[in-house]
Amino acid sequence: MKINKLAPSILSADYANFESELKKLEASGAEYAHIDVMDGHFVPNISFGAGVVASMRPHSKLVFDCHLMVTNPEQHIEEFARAGADIISIHVEATPHIHGALQKIRLAGVKPSVVINPGTPVESIQHILNLVDQVLVMTVNPGFGGQAFLPETMDKIRQLVQLREEKGLDFDIEVDGGIDDKTIHAAKEAGANVFVAGSYVFNGDVNERVQTLRAAIQD
């Protein structure tokens, strides 16, 4: 049985006050801070880069779960490792060198995670599952917070649970996009164990919202 974890996304936080936003998350008992890095190329938006992660690092003990929505992520791994990332997620769609890029993350002393977009099949990552500590299944198309959860992505979670069992592997399954107090149930039911939530957590009382999500995933 995998441990369930909550990963609020600071994409929906107040960017002028990351220090206090991180403290709120820590006080709420969330395990991860999910950090969405967007380059304006792989996705239309630009968010923030490794410098922001490095500035936040001394202010928080949370696991920094860095989701790189950038083209050719292999060029930025060392930078994010130095900045204090604990987990680095890279998209299979963003590089022709996914195998080497995941190895590079491990070599940098960071946990490798691979991401698939809603339109990308599980088959595209089946040969690198042995290299990762986490698979992130996008439950919206990446680029923006506040989009509606896509229930059709749940089949891929079930498929990954089966593959993990067949191959005797141990990766976490994370979901990201449109997760709230209602949609989280379907994701948990399908077999996900790490839950990202951005707008749901920050568009309200952070502590209350984290507790509500926690109650929803209690075994």
Asked if 176 is an active-site residue, the reply is yes
CB of 167: closest distance to ligand DX5 in angstroms?
27
Backbone angles phi, psi at 40, to 5 degrees: 70, 15
Going by C-alpha positions, the residue among 28, 8, 10 that lies closest to residue 19 is 10
- In angstroms, rounded to a whole number, what is the distance separating the alpha carbons of residues 142 and 177? 8
Q: Is 198 annotated as a binding residue?
A: yes
Instruction: Judge contact between 185 and 212, C-beta under 8 A.
Output: no
Binding residues for ligand DX5, rule CB under 6 A, total 22
Sign of CA dihedral 70, 74, 79, 83: positive
For residue 35, give the amino acid letter: I
Helix axes 18-28, 206-217, angle to 10 degrees: 40
Task: Pick the piece of the chain touching ligand DX5 (CB under 6 A) from 71-79, 150-158, 170-178, 183-191.
Answer: 170-178
Q: Tell me how many residues contact Zn ion (CB under 5 A).
A: 3
Footprint (CB under 5 A) of Zn ion, residues 26-45: 36
- CA separation for the pair 190, 51 (Å, rounded): 36
111 binds Zn ion (CB under 5 A): no
Selection from Zn ion, ligand DX5, none that 183 binds (CB < 5 to 8 A by kind) is none
Q: State the residue number with the nearest CB to ligand DX5.
A: 198
User: What is the contact surface with ligand DX5 in residues (CB under 6 A)?
Assistant: 9, 11-12, 34, 36, 67, 140, 142-147, 176-179, 196-200
Q: Which residues are annotated as a binding site?
A: 9, 34, 36, 67, 143-146, 176-178, 198-199
